[in-house]
Amino acid sequence: MRSVTHVSPAPGAQSDATPHDRPSTNGHSPSNTVPTLSVAQVGPAAERIVANIEKVVAGKHDVIRLGVTVLLAEGHLLIEDVPGVGKTTFAKALARSIDCTVRRIQFTPDLLPSDVTGVSIYNSESTDFEFKPGPVFANIVLGDEINRASPKTQAALLECMAERQVTVDGARYVLQSPFLVLATQNPIEMEGTYALPEAQRDRFTAKLSLGYPDRAAEIAMLSDQTTADPLTTLTTVSDAEHIRALIETVRNVHVAEAVKDYVVSLVEATRNHSDIRLGASPRASLHLLRTAKSAAAIAGRDFVLPDDVQRLVAPVLAHRLLLAPSAIVAGRSPENLLAEIVVKVPIPVASARI
């Protein structure tokens, strides 16, 4: 991996108010042109990735499809489930399906922020500081058991996920596209875990849970994975340039004003619900719209329908909500409340293409 060198300011010197821009340090030059694809090409490309992942994660088509939807929406994915159900396998399979740079971070209580973002090290021969990039300088960053690290280390990902850049010692390093943080975590009630701060959860576009496989899938796993690891034979079905082209196509999907109003109405309803102490943020509105555009493109449409939004309300919004104590005592869940909100908020009557 190529290192980027910069000279730190002399003692007592004033630093710039705005960090200096630096090129990406993942060894690839950013492309100035992105190939143009039609919407009709998005669905088949996404399904190839889904089918490839299903070779190692069987019986979870909808969950895998959601993961690919988040990738094309330029989002980040949080997978929460008990140990041993295939969270890391799913993450690795997604990474291997795309010919992109991949780095894995095993989050532990002693992990430092500089272990994630990188650090400037003094070089006595050149008498300046050399920046040693951390594992976030990759297209896909797999954060394994993210909630086992301290909140300080978790916070090292905030700038990366929101702004796709890293600032170290006053220098700003731009991350390459595509950039996806795919994090796994165990339920917070398990020993040795830290609950993700609200600001961290809000930067994850969606949260999903794999759950236990059905009986047939588990029996098949016993047959397929006792003699060899299927991940070692998994081939790539796409690459970084193609993913960038798919993302650009998703960006251009049309959204009617009525659908935008519907998205905001759903999010506002979470802020005004008596059982919700903290509702969804404006960032949540943006993530909900982006994933709806991605879902529409995968379905072969160049416009978003209210149905696209409805299907994504729970995975995009549920992990951002904080329930009121009375709702927790009553056994309510964010998913239950969001289902009620979807029923109550009026669906746009006007055509989604207007």
DSSP character string of 184-195 = EE--TTSTT--P
CA distances from 125 to 1, 17, 121, 187, 300 (A): 20, 30, 12, 48, 57
What would the pLDDT profile of 192-220 be if each residue is shown by its tens digit? 677 788 888 999 999 988 888 888 888 88
Mean pLDDT for all residues in the chain: 85
Residues 352 and 256: beta-carbon distance below 8 Å: yes
- Whole-number pLDDT of residue 18: 40
- Whole-number pLDDT of residue 22: 53
Q: Once rounded to an integer, what is the mean pLDDT over residues 7-19?
A: 36
- Whole-number pLDDT of residue 149: 87
What would the pLDDT profile of 90-146 be if each residue is shown by its tens digit? 888 888 898 888 888 999 889 999 999 998 888 888 778 888 999 999 998 988 888
Residues 121 and 130: beta-carbon distance below 8 Å: yes
User: Residue 195 has which token pair?
Assistant: 């609950």
